[in-house]
Amino acid sequence: MRLSLLLRTGGIVSVVLWLALVAAVGSATFGAAFWLSVRSVARSTEVEVPDLAGLDLSAAQVQVEPSGLVLQVVDERHDPAVPSGRIIEQVPLPGSSVRRGRKVKLVLSRGDRVLVVPSLVGRPIRAVDIDLRQEGFVPGELARAPSSSAPAGTVLAQVPAPESPAVPQARIHRLVSDGPPPRTWVMPDLSGLSRADAERWIAMSGLRRGAVRRVRMERRASDAVVGQMPLAGYPLRSRDVVDLTVAQ
């Protein structure tokens, strides 16, 4: 009777173990199937972000439409290498895997920066050149001309004109005053004047006295002017040199 009881008990245990094994296998199978199903659904909602660099908004919209992505412009900035209205940056980056319907943030180009040429006329050339570089310009050709109305070193004219639109690194050409034009005289005849009187006239005329030669001459007073260079009748300008020859 005990043997019969043991057999019966062993049979029940086997059945219980078998049922537990079946339940475990079923649970594992269901879990795996569920995980695969979730993964498959997740994959079906993921898309790859296309490369939108260089496109305008219309072309970019066509590019992302099959992916269900949404474009959002978040910033604009100047970029001399990219035409205005074209995309220069995007987030997420091209090739990223994202969920369908994700926003793609864009930065658009405003093209090359437009500057306004400042007014330089009447300003000292040294300060002008410093300011031009600080404002993104390049000092161009420099020409000089005499001016009775503007001190030396003052800008008289410029090209391009003030308030003209320009791009960065544009060259600005300047015409600068060289000060008042030199005064011009016709060289007078200094013969017969004393050396002192001749030198006084040279200084008052804004000229420079050059060499003084002495020669022996009869019937001429000592230190009287007997020769000059330039000769009488020649044109003279400020700071020209006048050489004298006087009797010994």
Q: Evaluate if residue 24 carries a pLDDT over 80.
A: no
Q: Evaluate if residue 34 carries a pLDDT over 80.
A: no
Secondary structure of residue 140 in the 3-state scheme:
strand
What does the pLDDT read at residue 14?
55
Reference 79, options 55, 45, 121, 114; nearest CA is 114
Reference 75, options 112, 51, 50, 110; nearest CA is 110
AA letter at 71: L
pLDDT, tens digit, 9 for 90 and up, residues 199-237: 999 999 889 999 999 999 888 899 999 999 999 999 998
| Residue 215 or residue 16, greater confidence | 215
Q: What percent of the chain has pLDDT over 90?
A: 66
Q: Is 155 exposed, middle or buried (0-12, 13-18, 19+ CB in 10 A)?
A: buried
Provide the mean pLDDT of the chain: 85
Please report which confidence band the pLDDT of residue 33 belongs to, taking 50, 70 and 90 as the band edges: low
Q: Read out DSSP for 228-247?
A: EESPTT-EEETT-EEEEEEE
212 bridge partner residues:
244
pLDDT, tens digit, 9 for 90 and up, residues 150-178: 999 999 999 999 999 998 889 999 999 99
What does the pLDDT read at residue 20?
52
Q: Evaluate if residue 132 carries a pLDDT over 70.
A: yes
Query: If you average pLDDT over residues 11-23, what whole number do you get?
Result: 51
Beta carbons of 137 and 82 less than 8 angstroms apart = no
